[in-house]
Amino acid sequence: MAQAATSGLTFVEEERGIIVADAARFGDVVLARKDTPASYHLCVTHDDALQGVTLVTRGKDLFHATHLHRLLQALMGWPVPIYAHHELLTDETGRRLAKRDSARTLRSLRADGVPPAALRARLLSEAGG
């Protein structure tokens, strides 16, 4: 039954169109352990379904995880949103800006007096705009 539910899976990537999901890409995936109640992958797909999310926007570093998310959606009978994966924002040294790496927040930039126009200009230059 799981084989039938997982064959022919696809998802829509906003800028690339229909992507064929490779359900076997990660092999056996750990979804929960004694020390961790549930994996990121299970949590985000569940939350997206529960909240009725129709467009998931994440960094390009998570593009390949979408194959696993699509598999979980099929197995659980959850809806499939459209996906958009963006370039990663980085600091002056090229290190990605991420909460888990204690990256500076907009609040801290504002507190340090960085004007909104300067931040917009930096983000636009990094995006090639």
Average pLDDT taken over every residue of the chain? 86
Contacts 24+ apart (CB under 8 A), 32-38: none
Extract the tokens encoding 106.
Answer: 């907009």
Higher-confidence position of 101 and 66:
66
- Give the contacts of 33 (CB within 8 A, at least 6 positions apart): none
Handedness of CA 87, 93, 97, 100 (dihedral sign): positive
Query: Is the domain of 62 the same as that of 111?
Result: no
Query: Is the domain of 76 the same as that of 50?
Result: yes
- Closest listed residue to residue 66, CA positions, set 85, 51, 88: 85
Query: Is the domain of 80 the same as that of 107?
Result: no
* Other beta carbons within 10 Å of 3: 7
Q: Can you give the residue range of the structural domain that contains 14?
A: 2-86
Higher-confidence position of 102 and 128:
102
Predicted confidence (pLDDT) per residue in 70-116, tens digit: 999 999 999 999 999 998 877 778 778 777 777 778 888 888 898 88
What pLDDT was estimated at residue 1? 44
| Length of the chain measured in residues | 129
Higher-confidence position of 18 and 34:
18
Query: Is the domain of 27 the same as that of 75?
Result: yes
Query: Is the domain of 116 the same as that of 101?
Result: yes
99 is catalytic: yes
Query: Is the domain of 66 the same as that of 128?
Result: no
CATH at 34: 3.40.50.620
Query: Is the domain of 94 the same as that of 63?
Result: no
Considering 33, 34, 99, 107, which one is annotated as catalytic? 99
Please count the structural domains in the chain.
Answer: 2
What pLDDT was estimated at residue 30? 84
Higher-confidence position of 8 and 100:
8
Query: Is the domain of 75 the same as that of 101?
Result: no
Query: Is the domain of 26 the same as that of 71?
Result: yes
Query: Is the domain of 6 the same as that of 43?
Result: yes
Query: Is the domain of 81 the same as that of 100?
Result: no
